[in-house]
Amino acid sequence: MRESLRESRKRELKEEIFLQALRLFKERGYENVTVEDITTACGIAKGTFYNYFPKKEHVLLHLGQGQIEILRESVARHTRVRNVRKRLKLIFKDLLTRIDREPDLLKATIIEILRSSLLVEEELQLIAEFELLLTPLFEEAVAAGQVSARWDPRQLSSFLVGTYYYALFSWLANPAQADVVALFHTHLDMLWGGIAAEGGKD
């Protein structure tokens, strides 16, 4: 069943809007680009934008969706690394190093991902998808005796995703710090080994 003219145009136009929007966001910053700027750059009318993205911010969520794909591939690629802690470091390195050097765009994206997770009930729940993809890793780690059976793998996965976003967040809030990958590794080490002193009574 071939793709009809309509269907192909639909895909292509959405992609075109997305690319033009990203280009403009990078050039001028998310807040300084109007929807009309985007549509003018595409040679279409303003209303058409809303046939493809329900809100301006959905361009950013679409961008975030791309990270989910990277995560999925990365999870699949590293299954042979038996040590789950090391595997997680490899996976998150994949995610974090692919972040291009557009901190302002990244800031706006993170804000929108967080906002949609809190305020929107719909299906586009990036964070939830993220957690779901990592849960099996923790199930495996618990089964292999690498991680304490004391905690629910879903909770572990959730906390790790929180740690990931927090590392990203801290780095964006204060880019003078060490690079993101190092920051995330530090946080992961804190979490893995615990922060209590050896032999501390509590």
Partner DNA sequence: TAACTTCTGTGACCCCGGTCACAAAATGAC
Partner DNA sequence: GTCATTTTGTGACCGGGGTCACAGAAGTTA
- Please choose which of DNA, a copy of itself, none residue 148 contacts, taking the beta carbon within 5 to 8 angstroms, the exact cut-off set by kind: a copy of itself
Give me the least distance between CB of 189 and DNA, in Å please: 40
The binder of 4, among DNA, a copy of itself, none, by C-beta within 5 to 8 A per type, is DNA
- Give the span between the Cα atoms of 49 and 16, in whole angstroms: 11
> Which residues are near a copy of itself by CB under 8 A?
83, 85-86, 107-108, 110-111, 114-115, 117-119, 127, 142, 145-149, 151, 155-156, 158-159, 162-163, 165-166, 169-170, 172-173, 186-187, 190-198, 200-202
Instruction: Please name which of 85, 106, 101 lies closest in space to residue 187, comparing C-alpha atoms.
Output: 85
d(CA 161, CA 159): 5
Smallest distance from a copy of itself to CB 103, Å? 10
Q: How far is the CB of 68 from a copy of itself (least distance, A)?
A: 17
In sequence order, which ranges of 43-125 are alpha helices (DSSP H)?
A: 46-52, 58-77, 84-97, 103-119
Closest CB 96 distance from a copy of itself, rounded Å: 16
> Identity (one letter) of the amino acid at 76?
A
Which option in DNA, a copy of itself, none does residue 45 bind, with CB closer than 5 to 8 A by kind? DNA
Amino acid (1-letter code) at residue 8:
S
Tokens 């993220």, residue located? 130
Coil vs helix vs strand at 176: coil
Contacting positions for DNA (CB under 7 A): 4-7, 9-10, 13, 33-36, 44-48, 50-52, 54-57
In angstroms, give the least distance from the CB of 126 to a copy of itself.
12
Tokens found for residue 70: 């990277």
The C-alpha atoms of residue 202 and residue 117 are separated, in whole angstroms, by 35
Residue 166 interaction partner, one of a copy of itself, DNA, none, beta carbon < 5-8 Å per kind: a copy of itself
User: Are the C-beta atoms of residues 41 and 16 closer than 8 Å to each other?
Assistant: no
